[in-house]
Amino acid sequence: MPTDQQSAHDTPHVHTDGDRRRLEFSPGMIQSEMLLSRPDHLLLRYARAMMCFTLFVPRPRHILMVGLGGGSLLKFCHRHLPEARITVLELRADVIALREQFMVPPDDARLRIIETDAVSYIRQHPACADVLLLDGFDDSGLPPALGSARFYADCLRALVPGGVLVANLFHYDPHYGAMVKRLMLTFRGLVCSFDGIAGNNRIIFAAKPERQQSGRASAGRAARTVRLVRWRTLFGLAFLNRLLPAWQLWRLQRRRRQPG
């Protein structure tokens, strides 16, 4: 995943067990998992939770992803969001080389996988994406550069007004609290999280306000969704948030099957 330095023991390994294929850097540390019989199915709970970005931006035009892994999110978005362009930033050539084993579609007019440093790329591409998915882990966790205040500021600039950032974080990361505070500061409080729906993963959503013609920020759909999720949590209705991933995936799959 995107990090400037790689340790000698984090070579990606592919393991196949029956219908399941997974990607690991270290034994037992699953980076991605898929079903051979259903390659675009989202098997891991955290990936299903990240797809809730469609509550904030239902019909994205451009999705920018940091971290390829086995391409689970890429494959689902490519199939069920046919109007969206997808750009994936992956630093490691050895991870990209596994794309055929994980049945990742070839690059085309809608899809590009770029071997690059995500930190530099995002800094150089302002206002380029409706959705920014951050899922860039290596064998030691989240690289510090992907949780810094400067990086989050660059992410805010990379989003168009009304766009949303989705970050996959581990709650036991010693820097977890600091990263959430940086996101709150950068996105001026328009931040919420889906806790308790993906094990140790915490899925954080941060919305960029829309702009009115006068130049003033307006609430917009993404900002209103952030407030709704936070309201449910505040009033003890977090269980409703936990139902959202399954509901939203069903809606996307149903929409994809409908003609026109």
Work out the number of other CB atoms within 10 angstroms of the CB of residue 200.
10
Per-residue pLDDT of the chain (260 residues; tens, 9 = 90+): 434 444 444 788 999 999 999 999 877 778 899 999 999 999 998 899 899 899 889 899 999 999 999 999 999 999 999 999 999 999 999 999 999 999 999 999 999 999 999 999 999 999 999 999 999 876 666 888 999 999 999 999 999 999 999 999 988 888 999 999 999 999 988 898 877 777 788 899 999 988 754 555 555 777 777 766 665 565 455 566 666 666 667 677 776 655 54
Residue 42 buriedness (CB in 10 A; 0-12 / 13-18 / 19+) = buried
Is residue 160 a contact partner of residue 127, using CB atoms and an 8 Å limit? yes
Structure tokens at 192: 């919420």
Q: What is the pLDDT of residue 243?
A: 65
| Exposure b/e, 224-260, CB count within 10 A at least 16 = b | ebbeebbebbeeeeeeebeebbeebbeebeeeeeeee
Measured distance CA(197)–CA(56) in Å, rounded: 18
Measured distance CA(152)–CA(80) in Å, rounded: 28
Measured distance CA(95)–CA(108) in Å, rounded: 19
Active-site residue 130, yes or no?
no
What is 171-219 written as a DSSP string?
TT-TTHHHHHHHHHHHTTT-EEEETTSSTTEEEEEEEPPEE-TTS-EE-
pTM comes to 0.85
- Determine the distance from the C-alpha atom of residue 150 to the mean position of all C-alpha atoms in its chain, rounded to a whole number: 19
Three-state DSSP class for residue 5: coil
Measured distance CA(32)–CA(18) in Å, rounded: 16
Measured distance CA(25)–CA(23) in Å, rounded: 7
Three-state DSSP class for residue 114: strand
Q: Find tokens 């930033």 and name the residue.
A: 89
Q: What is the pLDDT of residue 171?
A: 85
Give the start-to-end residue ranges of the domains of the chain: 44-257
Catalytic residue among 135, 139, 173, 195: 135
In CATH, what number does 44-257 get? 3.40.50.150
